Amino acid sequence: MEKAALPVPPGSIIGIVGGGQLGRMAAMAAARLGYRCHIFTPDTDSPAAHVAMTKTVASYDDMHALRAFAAQIDVATFEFENIPIESLRLVAEQIPVRPSWKILKVAQDRVREKTFFNTIGLKTAPWRRVFDKASLAQAVAEVGRPAILKTARFGYDGKGQILIDDSTPLEDAWHCIDSEVGVVEAFVDFTRELSVIVARGVDGAWTAFDPAENHHTNSVLQMSQVPARIHSRMAVSAVEAGRHAAEVLDVVGILAVEMFVTREGNLLMNEMAPRPHNSGHWTLDACVTDQFEQFIRAVCGLPLGSPARYCDAEMLNLLGEEDVARWQNILNNPFARLHLYGKNDARPGRKMGHVTHLKPRTDIDQC
């Protein structure tokens, strides 16, 4: 825990490394609280910069630009996972970076991440580190088929992953992932996929949103719904797992943990992200304090708000040109809340926005 950290007061400048939609929604929450944001991004036209006070356009390893950025802001955070650790360390020499680069270092790498979960007593699917064809063969023999081979780094939305079923030649699989290090993990025959989003303040206080039930299509998040269709005991265990991970890591900010519920009713951790998460976008419309505001509050050392949920919600990602073309239809439904990220280039499958459908709360008696 940081000692006697003073709040970064409204009016200060928050530096956000990364210029995507997460930075955009964080900057909007920051603006509501009277902060100004400075976005550091390599992109000349980034969703976050559209709604921020200013931006630096430079590559993530431009040490000169990073030093100048740090000199102009009061506190820094990040919204993108694949930032070189060295860059954040450099910024941290000048001003507080929350959460710490040490947490990003764990979350960036599936080997470190899974080792971390297991070390603190949280279960994962059986997994092995692989680094060549021989270790891959050994790993698959040990965890069994079907299994999934994933690159240790830089994977997202299912990229850098390959399913190894009974007929997959291992030689081909290894060539496919094009990485020096990977993990092989047992394929989980899950009944539900969940995520828990924990916010944790400078003082160690924490809150968590209700677990979301997530549905992926081709490994890309398609829909998140709350409440998740799980027993309340399972919801408590899921939140407890997220809280435990956030405490051990000493997160100041947001930690999102993705998990599987097995047929036997066990929870297995999948991965984590020390930043706001796509599966928490529903909180913008359904909660007293949304994940972006909690993020800003935590990063600035302010008290956290209530994560209480007013209503049930279903968040659908809008991917590519086709989904975004439905914007008028979406607006015709008065209980749908449309969020567009202002991206120019609607490449197929690109996250262009999301819509949250709000419904009366069904589990009110459990409050």
Ligand X SMILES: Nc1ncnc2c1ncn2[C@@H]1O[C@H](COP(=O)(O)OP(=O)(O)O)[C@@H](O)[C@H]1O
Residues 210-239 that bind ligand X (CB under 6 A): 216, 219
- What are residue 40's DSSP bridge partners? 17, 56
What the block records as the tokens of 309 is 């949920």
Backbone torsions φ then ψ of 23, nearest 5 degrees: -65, -35
Tell me which residue of 193, 249, 254, 201 sits closest to 22, measured CA to CA.
254
Q: Min. distance of Cβ 106 from ligand X in angstroms?
A: 14
Our finding on whether 188 is near ligand X (CB under 6 A) is yes
Residue in this structure with the two tokens 């950290």, named with its chain if needed: 5
* Residue number, nearest CB to ligand X: 188
Q: CB of 364 within 8 A of CB of 331?
A: no
Tell me which residue of 322, 288, 324, 320 sits closest to 305, measured CA to CA.
288
Our finding on whether 158 is near ligand X (CB under 6 A) is yes
Q: Min. distance of Cβ 10 from ligand X in angstroms?
A: 34
Transcribe 304-358 into DSSP letters. Answer: P----B-SEEEEEEEEHHHHHTTHHHHHTSTTEEEEE---S---TT-EEEEEEEE
Q: 36 or 112: whose CB is closer to ligand X?
A: 112
Q: 249 or 272: whose CB is closer to Mg ion?
A: 272
Per-residue binding string, ligand X, 238-277, x by CB under 6 A, is: --------------------x-----------xx------
What the block records as the tokens of 33 is 């609280």
Our finding on whether 193 is near ligand X (CB under 6 A) is yes
From CA 177, how far away is CA 140, in angstroms rounded? 15
Q: Min. distance of Cβ 43 from ligand X in angstroms?
A: 21
Q: 257 or 358: whose CB is closer to ligand X?
A: 257
- According to CB under 6 A, which one of 125, 238, 261, 355 is a site residue for ligand X? 125
Per-residue binding string, Mg ion, 255-294, x by CB under 5 A, is: ---x------------------------------------
Per-residue binding string, Mg ion, 201-240, x by CB under 5 A, is: ----------------------------------------
CA distances from 285 to 39, 188, 204, 229, 256 (A): 25, 32, 26, 20, 18
Q: 225 or 270: whose CB is closer to ligand X?
A: 270
Hey, what amino acid is at 232?
S
Residues that bind Mg ion (CB under 5 A): 258
Residues that bind ligand X (CB under 6 A): 125, 148, 155-158, 185, 187-188, 193, 216, 219, 258, 270-271
